[in-house]
Copies of this chain bind each other. A is one copy, B any other.
Amino acid sequence: MKIRERGVAIGKLKPGKKNCITDVEGVMVGQVTLDYPLNDNDQYVCTGVTAVLPHGGNLFREKVPAASYVINGFGKTTGLVQVEELGLIESPIMLTNTFGVPAVTQGTLEYLLRTTPEIGDTTGTVNIVVGECNDGYLNSIRTLPVKPEHALTAIENANSEIVGEGAVGAGKGMVCFGYKGGVGASSRLIGKEQSSKDYIIGCLVVTNFGNKDEFPFSKYGLSEIPLETKETPDGSIMIILATDAPFSERQLKRLAKRCGIGLGRTGSHYSNGSGDIVIAFSTARTISHQSTGHVEVAHLIRDDHPLMNKLFQGAAEAVEEAILNSLSQAETTQGRQGRVVEGMFS
């Protein structure tokens, strides 16, 4: 159940039809969940992979404008150097556990090499973006259960339906404010009253941050839920933001910065050991890998149009709601060493 169905509404803008990142046309999400005990009784695999595809075509051949923003950089996200330099994303955006990053990068690379034979042969290489949180409280992360093939499966699973939330995919083993966290999604409509056109912002998060005493139950009209879980170490949050508004990479970074507002409103103080990272992209245009001309045409939203402030607001609201959705949807989950993390609403 999404948090909205529990009577908690975040912000003032309306969500899209699915209240999900897949409300942004073309965006697809696929997930793989790993959930099984290992021979050794105390070890448990409780992790997964989530793939976000900006569109359903060949992302290397048709790239999208993108930016990242590092709220707090205690994280191992890979691929951001080139995103920063060129303002583009040219691969699926992959999410997994911290130690799964190399395997997921490897699998995504293999997928791209298979689907795009010119990479590494007649043209250059490809930049792969993989984000992560540390699910090591529940997941036997040292056993490296995520394999390259899980990345491929996640990509192949991708579709435009409502995204599974809570303890699924990359969110399977995550912990948020001491409760079970995981995948959350949401969206915000920025309506025609602001301009001649409707725009939408979609958000997907993997939540793995926060201490219990940071979460503002009363602000959300929730009664505090008793919690037996011991204190978990500093975690992380990965935030993926999609929009169909025509943004440049500079503007996408501005939008990405507003995600920290939504995060802060849930109680986070961007703790030291947290990798709080935003990746934002626009689907309004694609940039072809090959071109005969030397000039591209870009339509870009004006920074000073009132629409921009509404889009900023939309980003902040979408992040806050996606985080709450991750908590609302996550069920009590058991992991390694018999550890249990309770769902906030279980």
Contacts and interface: CB of A to CB of B under 8 A. Distances in A.
A31 B113 CA distance: 27
Contacts of A229: none
Interface of A: 12, 70-82, 84-87, 98-99, 101-103, 105-106, 109-110, 113, 119-121, 124-125, 127-128, 134, 136, 141-142, 144, 194-196, 213, 219, 233-234, 246, 248-250, 254, 257-258, 260-265, 268-273, 275, 277, 291, 293-305, 307-309, 312-313, 316
A213 B313 CA distance: 12
Identical copies of this chain, number: 4
B269 A196 contact: no
Given A12-B213, A271-B309, 12 more contacts: A77-B81, A98-B125, A101-B105, A102-B105, A102-B109, A103-B106, A124-B134, A248-B250, A254-B272, A293-B302, A296-B300, A296-B301
Nearest to A257: B270
A76 B72 contact: no
Nearest to A104: B102
Nearest to A303: B272
A80 to B, nearest CB: 6
A268 B315 CA distance: 12
Nearest to A123: B233
9 contacts: A71-B257, A103-B106, A219-B219, A249-B250, A257-B260, A258-B270, A260-B264, A261-B269, A264-B264
Contacts of A102: 101-103, 105-106, 109
A76 B79 contact: yes
A144 B113 CA distance: 10
A270 B261 contact: yes
A144 B119 CA distance: 13
Contact of A273 (B84, B121, B271, B304): B304
A64 B147 CA distance: 31
Main secondary structure of the interface of A (DSSP, over half): mixed
Contacts of A273: 124, 304
List of 9 A-B pairs having minimum Cβ-Cβ separation, nearest first? A73-B85, A261-B264, A102-B106, A102-B105, A78-B78, A294-B305, A98-B125, A195-B294, A102-B102
Contacts of A213: 12
A70 B99 contact: no
A72 B194 CA distance: 22
Nearest to A141: B120
A6 to B, nearest CB: 18
A160 to B, nearest CB: 26
A72 B257 contact: yes
A76 B304 CA distance: 17
Contacts of A296: 299-302
Contacts of A71: 257
A86 to B, nearest CB: 6
Nearest to A216: B219
Give the one of A70, A78, A109, A233 with max B CB within 10 A.
A78
Contact of A142 (B119, B275, B277): B119
